[in-house]
Every structure is written in structure tokens, then in C-alpha cells.
Amino acid sequence: MDAALTLAASDLVQWLGNLLTFRLASCLALSGALFAIGAWGVLARRNILLVLISVELMLNAVMLAFVAFARAHVNLAKETGLPYAGESGQIFALTIIALAAAEAAVGLAIVIAYFRNRQTVDTRDISLMRH
Amino acid sequence: MVRAMHSMLATLLFWIVVLMTVTAATFVVVARNILHAAFALAVAFLGVAGIYIFLHADFLAAVQLIVYVGGIIVLVMFAIMFSAHTQEGTVEPRRTWLALGGGALVAGVVLAATIMLINRLQVPLAEANAHADAAYRTTASAAPGEIALGHVLLGEYLLPFEVASILILAALVGAVAIVRKETR
């Protein structure tokens, strides 16, 4: 009786563990959630700085998806002969980090230059491109 | 048994980090004070760095901390303080329910599509997951470490690496040129 109970408990633990350690799907779900939240911010915020910040969130979500897939396919290299299967996703993520940094620098510079000329960061007022 | 406890603990920590990330990201979108939103963004970036550690991407986690939490957040703070001279300060004026609701609707559709996709991919994903887990258990050096990453970055992916560096240089020079005060 005691042994059966222990067995059932360990089965339960195993099942819960399988459910919760399903890391790839959970990471993809988190990635989708972050992307959705970022899209929400891009559409809902009125401050242009917050729109840029939300774009950064979306970029982070994409990076997360790349890294999750890279982790899942880490041993693909040895079996299929494809080189660098495990590293490629992380290289993509590194490149995205570099591009995100460039995007943030240029975007914030444009915001500051615009604010200097027009004294506003509200997306409703930002409709002119000339001085 | 100890191993199972250890695994459960790691799983618990993983979900705590996931919850923290999603909460902070949501706060970025709903916070009225822009400075608070920027701080919440830092927490969200920290959470993503934590997820990278769970995904055995240690180098990427460090880069995430240095570039995002150390660099981009500071840049955003500077931009906020440069542009906070409006009468409202850093607090945003009220937002319409239409904007919030419409944005939430689009976000919900995106999220639903992602979850449907994951559900359709469930079996291959589970196989890949079990496969990777087995690989990690059998070989200690299955994870691409910093050394392998460096070899690939400066070998197979040398061209994208150099293109990215030129792009960053051009972007930074361009940013300085845009922000610089015009002298006439």
C-alpha cells in the first residue's frame, strides 16, 4: 500500500516535471507573449519613446525564439552533418542584439532631434518630417 | 530522488523568471510614468537573460546584461530625461480606451496564433526537447560554449559579423550627426 502510494506520487511528480520542464514550448510561449506585449505597446502608447521601447521588447522575443530553437537542435550537427547547428541560433541572436543597439541609437537620436525642434514626443503630434 | 528535487527546483525557478518577465513587460505597456516603464523594461531584460541561462546560452546572457541592461536602458533614460520638459513631466497624458483595447486585441490575436502554432508543433517539439535533454545528459560538452561560439563567429559567420560592425559604426556616426546642434 505504502509502496503503491509512493509509486503514484513519483508518477505524479514525473508527469508534473514532464509538463513543466517542456522547456522549448514554454520558451516559445514566453517569446510569443513578449512579442504580443511589445506589439500592444507599439499600438497603445502615445509617447514615441515608449513605442521604441516596445520595439525592443519585440526584438527580445524574437531572439528568445532563436535561442530556444538553437538549444533544441544542439546535437543536430553530429547526426545530420550540418555544421554549427547549435551555434547558429545564438549567432543570429548576437547579430540581432547588434542591430537592436544600432536601431536604439538612431531612433533615440531622431527623437531627441525632433524634440529639440518641436518640443513634443507625442505620436499624435509627430506628423511632419520637415523643419 | 535528490535529482528529481533538484530538477523540480530548477523548474520552479524557471517559471518564476518567466512570470517576472511577463509581468515586467506588461508593466512597461501599462505604466503611466515613462521612467517607471523604463525600469520595468530593465527587469524584463534581466528576466530574458535568466531564460538564456536556462537555455545553456551563458555567453548570450552576459551579452544581454551588458548591452541591454547596461547600455540600452541608460540610453533610454537619457532620452527620457532629455525630452521630459513638457508640462506633464514624465507622466503620460491619459490614453483612450480605444487605443489600449485595440492594441490588446491585436496582441491577443498574435498570442493566440503563437499558442496554436505551438500546439500544432507539439509532437516534433517534444521530440526535439527530449533529444536535447538526452544530449545534455550524455555529453558534458554538448552545449555550444564560448569557445565554439567564438570559432563559429569568426569563421563561418565572419561576413555577417563584419557587416554588423560596419552597420553599428555607421549608425553611431549617424546618431551623432542627427543629434549634434546645427551651427550656421
Residues 73-132 in B contacting A (C-alpha not used; CB under 8 Å): 75-76, 78-80, 82-83, 85-86, 92-93, 95, 99-100, 102-104, 106-108, 110-111, 113-115, 118, 121-122, 125-126, 128-129, 131-132
CA–CA gap between residue B61 and residue B73 (Å, rounded): 16
Chain A residues with beta carbon closer than 8 angstroms to that of B18: 26, 30
Q: Residue B122: CB partners within 8 Å, gap ≥ 6?
A: A25
Task: Report if residue A12 sits inside a domain.
Answer: no
Task: Report if residue A55 sits inside a domain.
Answer: yes
pLDDT value for A14: 58
CA–CA gap between residue B166 and residue A102 (Å, rounded): 11
Q: Which of A20, A31, A10 is nearest to B13 (CA)?
A: A20
| Residues forming a β-bridge with A122 | A47
Q: How far is A9 from chain B (nearest CA, A)?
A: 12
Which domains, and CATH codes, for chain B? 1-92 (1.20.120.1200)
The CATH code of the domain that includes A98 is: 1.10.287.3510
Q: Which residues constitute the domain of residue A113?
A: 23-130
| Coil, strand or helix at B151 | helix
Q: Residue B63: CB partners within 8 Å, gap ≥ 6?
A: A94, A97
Contact (Cβ atoms closer than 8 angstroms) between residue A41 and residue A57: yes
| Ranges of residues in chain B whose predicted pLDDT is under 50 | 140-142
CA–CA gap between residue B10 and residue B129 (Å, rounded): 16
pLDDT value for A24: 74
- State the total domains in chain A: 1
pLDDT digits (tens, 9 = 90+) for B106-140: 888 888 887 777 777 666 666 666 666 666 555 54
Q: Tens of pLDDT along chain A (131 residues)?
A: 677 777 677 766 655 555 455 567 788 888 989 999 999 888 888 888 899 999 999 999 999 999 888 877 765 555 666 666 677 888 999 999 999 999 999 999 988 888 888 777 787 777 776 65
Q: Residue B35: CB partners within 8 Å, gap ≥ 6?
A: B77, B80, B90
In the 8-state DSSP scheme, what is residue A75?
A: T
CA–CA gap between residue B38 and residue B166 (Å, rounded): 29
Model's pTM, two decimal places?
0.81
Residue A12 in grid coordinates: 505524479
